Structures are given as C-alpha cells and as structure tokens.
Amino acid sequence: MIAIQPHYLIQEMASEDISAVLEIDQVSFSNPWPERSYRYELAENPAAQLFVAKLDDGALIAYLGYWLIGDEVHISTFAVHPEFRRQGIGENLLKNALADAAKRGAQVATLEVRASNEAAIKLYGKLGFKVGGSLEGYYHDNDEEAILMSLNGGLAQFSETSQ
C-alpha cells in the first residue's frame, strides 16, 4: 500500500473556522476550550496567534494557538484531527508557528503538556524542547501532573522547513 500525504495549507485562523476547531478540540482533550475562548483569542487577545491546516476542499484538519509575550512564545492549544495524525501535520504546524513567532521576535518557546501525553512529549522532544520542570495536579479534571518544556533559541531555524 502506498501512503499518500494529504495536501494541506496552513493559514491564520478566522472566526468561520471556530466550529470545525471545536469539533477537533472536543475529541482531543478532556477539558476542551469553550467557544468563547476561541472568540476571545481571535478578536480580543493581542498576544494570540492562531493557525489552522486545511485540505484543498477546505476541510479543517489541525489547529494551533500561541501567545507571544515579550520574547517568549507559549503554545496555548494544539491538536490534529484523529484521522490525520502520524502524517507529519502536527510537526509541520508547530514548526510553522515557531517560525512565525521567531519573525515576531520570539527567542524562547514554552509549553505545558500532560505527563501521560507521550505523543506530544515525543513531538516536542524531536524539535529540541527540553523538560524544565513539572507541576503536580495542574490539570484539574484528573489531577494530572503537567510537564513544562522549553526551547531556548534557534526558533528561526524552522523558517526553512515549514510550509
């Protein structure tokens, strides 16, 4: 069998994308963001940038948000539709976001991730993020520990590899 990579484009998220983003959010997280959070991020939060990946037919298959505060970019939300995982889309979207943040002055990237989220921790590690600490009971729905990861410098390197 030949695996065919889906063709998709990464673009800035718009308010019409919110319903498709919420669908992926709800199947990806035990504590998904409510619609009002996406509306706030898009319309009112000057620190927020949000991106989506869309197939040629317009179907939304992944999204990522970050906050840029000073020279630090913090990944706020990030998921790939379950049917499109393990095809490099998450990695590409994350690289694209880091390159975008670097252009806006980011030098450091930070995030928190559930201790049980092996897929995400491996992805961040692949891009050079290192574990910097942890927070016991950070996730209130199941009292799970958060792993804090960061990438110090070199964010501009992703400009050449992202779409």
Ligand X SMILES: CC(C)(COP(=O)(O)OP(=O)(O)OC[C@H]1O[C@@H](n2cnc3c(N)ncnc32)[C@H](O)[C@@H]1OP(=O)(O)O)[C@@H](O)C(=O)NCCC(=O)NCCS
Classify 2 as helix, strand or coil.
coil
Which one among 98, 101, 106, 120 touches ligand X, defined by CB under 6 A? 120
Q: Kindly state whether residue 87 participates in binding ligand X, applying the rule CB under 6 A.
A: yes
Q: Which residue is nearest to ligand X (CB)?
A: 90
Check residue 113 for interaction with ligand X (CB under 6 A). Answer: yes
Sign of CA dihedral 28, 29, 35, 39: negative
Nearest distance, CB of residue 28 and ligand X, angstroms:
4
Residue 79 touching ligand X (CB under 6 A):
yes
Query: Measured between alpha carbons, how far is 70 from 74 in angstroms, rounded to an integer?
Result: 11
Give me the least distance between CB of 119 and ligand X, in Å please: 3
Rule CB under 6 A: choose which of 39, 103, 126, 130 binds ligand X.
126
74 in Cβ contact with 67 (< 8 Å): yes
Contact call for residue 150 and ligand X (CB under 6 A): no
Instruction: For residue 7, state whether it binds ligand X (rule: CB under 6 A).
Output: no
Piece of the chain touching ligand X by CB under 6 A; list 42-50, 51-59, 65-73, 115-123: 115-123
β-bridge pairing 60-69 and 48-55: antiparallel
Distance CA 148, CA 153 (A): 17
In this structure, the number of other CB atoms found within 10 A of the CB of residue 112 comes to: 16
Residue 10 binding ligand X, by CB under 6 A = no
Fill in the amino acid letter for 119.
Answer: A
91 scored as a contact of ligand X (CB under 6 A): yes
Instruction: Kindly state the smallest distance separating residue 156's Cβ from ligand X, in Å.
Output: 20
How big is the CA angle at 122 (ends 98 and 146), to the nearest 5 degrees?
85
Distance, in Å, from the CA atom of 76 to the CA atom of 144, rounded to the nearest integer, reads 18
Q: Which of 78, 96, 109, 147 binds ligand X (CB under 6 A)?
A: 78
**Where does this chain bind ligand X (CB under 6 A)?**
28, 78-80, 85-91, 113, 117-120, 122-123, 126
